[in-house]
Structure 1
Amino acid sequence: MKIDSSAKPLSLLQQIQQEQTDSLRHLASGKRVESAHDDAAAMQIIERLTAESQAYQRSLGNAYDGISMLGVAEGGLANIQDDVNRIRELTVQAGNGALTDADREALQQEAAQLTENIYQTVDRTEFAGVPLLSQNDSRTFQLGNTGDTSLSIELRDMRQQGLDSLSTLDLTDPNATSSLMDSLDSMNDMLNTQRAEYGAQQNAFEASARNLTQTDIATQASRSRMQDLDYAMGTARNIQNQILQNSAVAMSAQANAQTELALSILS
């Protein structure tokens, strides 16, 4: 005759051992939810928050690239404006009636060199291989988790904006001083307007970067509260399982002893 009084304790022991294994796994990873098996509903939310956080982080990189692009473009325009101001100064100097033709020719040569510098700046100002001052283009930067959160940079060919007129600049004609100064003043106004536009766009990108940083921090904090393990509670649960496991082992041993005693009496 066979008496199986250890089945229930063994079943309890197996359950406790499985819980202990899960507890140790969570403690080792530091996560309360590692898979859908742990918490299916929470896992869905965690994955969604993870995707959002990754989008915010990548968008933050996009924002800083936009800031850098605008900084390079604005820096190129600042160099151009310095040269334009120097040409204007030479134009005023060329209006001096005491100058000889040779003097004006020397001024013209310097103005021509400055014009060449300006055109080189236009052609060479670029960011990551993208020309910034020599073409009309629009560059869009994704700055969020949805498709409608973006900012665009409008690039313009500065030659077409008025710099091409520098190629006909002639300081050797004393009667052209007034018209040249008007043209250079208009050119300066255009450069000021373009620099102001790029400066405003930089501010917009910086504001977006700050907002993305704050949003990402909040998103990661929310995900952490849902996914990460509370070590104090995890450690307490592990100790509790160890006590239960020891108790179950003792119960199983006692059940086996009672079974053997019953069999010896019956026999």
Structure 2
Amino acid sequence: MMGRITQNMLNTQMLRNLGSNLTRMSTMQEQLSTNRRINRPSDDPVGLSFAMRYRSELSANEQHQENVDSATSWLEFTDTMLDQAGKVFNRIRELSVQGANGSNSKDAMNAIKSEIDQLYSQLVTIGNTDFNGKRIFNGQKTDVKPYEEATAEEAETDDAPIKFDIGFGTTLAVNITGSKVFGEKDATDNAFALLKELSTNLDANDHTAISNMLGRLDSRIGTFLEVRADIGAKLNRIELAQDRLKDSEMNLTTLQTKVEDADVAEVITNLKTSENVYQSSLSVGANLIKPSLIDFLR
């Protein structure tokens, strides 16, 4: 059996409805001022959890892009240094062929020796190159100069990789050790040892010995070219990773916008509707309350 509806019940319900309408309008006005659909956890708990996840992934993506930029700079600088080393190796090869020619005079051999000695020093300088204060050819011992002028052929460079996170679960070692570029200690094709031996043979005017060295020199140049190719492959991989990260950033930003941002046109429409409803409620409420006041006065 339904209970009797009193005037007080009608008034209470009317005030409750007006309050709810005001709350809705306040929420929509806040959305318009912030241009955000979610301004506090209570607005959409589920949506907020998605938004927080997207923000976290965007933050990680930004860090990966910074890592990609750093890795690219390191690899490009290394490639520049290897290009310089490549020119030195090519010149050494040319001079070695000239030195193997038995028709050279002693003065010509001395001139070749002088240039070979200069190229040795140039290779040592390249081997000690630093990028932003870090030696690029000495593994993780970036604060240690790997080569000394007098004993470069005896150096043993650190072979620990320097890795960058360039994606979710993806790392890339960007450094090339000096031993791969210039040869291992005691190796028959160690560039520094070859140059010292070549200088000695030029000084001794030993054309045969110089000719016999060409195979070992070619071995070093061949290994060096493989190292340069590896750098090129890593740069290509970095470029692909960069493209993927940019695509991910765009997708994540779109998803975040759909969850967090307010649809301004929809909010304005709903706000106008709520304002009309509120004004109508006030008019109806005034008419509802008036008779009760008259009755009370009587």
Q: Same fold (TM over 0.5)?
A: yes
Q: Which runs of 5+ in 1 are unaligned?
A: none
Structure 2 residue aligned with 1:188: 221
Counterpart of 1:25 (choices 24, 30, 37) is 30
2:75 aligns to what?
70
2:192 aligned with 1:164, yes or no?
yes
Aligned pairs, how many? 261
| Secondary structure of the corresponding residue to residue 216 of structure 1 | helix
Tell me the residue number matched to 1:79: 84
Shift of 1:102: 2.0
Distance 1:144 1:106 in 2: 53
Partner of residue 254 from structure 1, selected from 272, 278, 287: 287
> Match for residue 129 of structure 1?
133
Aligned to 1:60: 65
**Residues 249 and 132 of structure 1: CA distance in aligned 2, closer, same or farther (over 3 Å):** same
Correspondences of 1:1-267 after superposition (within 5 Å): 4=8, 6-124=11-129, 126-134=130-138, 135=157, 136-145=159-168, 148-157=169-178, 158-161=181-184, 162-165=190-193, 166-170=195-199, 171-172=202-203, 173=205, 174-264=207-297, 266=298
Compute the TM-score of the two structures, normalised by the length of structure 2: 0.81
CA contact (8 A) 2:54 2:252 kept: yes
- 2:135 maps to a residue whose letter is P
Question: Distance between the aligned counterparts of 1:179 and 1:22, measured in 2?
Answer: 87
Deviations for 1:6-52, whole angstroms, at most 9, x for unmatched residues?
Answer: 33322222111111110011111111122220111111111111111
**Would you identify which runs of 4 or more consecutive aligned residues in structure 1 move more than 6 Å?**
none
How far apart are the structure 1 equivalents of 2:98 and 2:19?
98
Question: Hey, what's the Cα distance between the residues in 2 that align with 1:30 and 1:164?
Answer: 66
CA-based RMSD: 2.1
> After superposition, what is the alpha-carbon deviation per residue over 1:121-144, rounded to whole angstroms, capped at 9, x for unaligned?
1101x3333322244230121123
The structure showing larger relative contact order (alpha-carbon pairs under 8 Å, at least 6 residues apart) is 1
Give the distance between the partners of 1:96 and 1:208, measured in 2 at CA.
50
Could you tell me the TM-score, scaled by structure 1's length? 0.89
What is the deviation of 1:198? 1.1
Offset, 1:243: 0.9
Structure 2 runs not aligned, ≥5 long: 1-6, 139-156, 185-189
CA drift of 1:90 comes to: 1.5
Deviation at 1:61, TM superposition (A): 1.8
User: Over residues 196-218 of structure 1, what are the superposed CA-to-partner deviations in whole Å (9 max), with x where a residue is unaligned?
Assistant: 11111111121112112212211
Counting aligned pairs with the same residue, the percent is 20
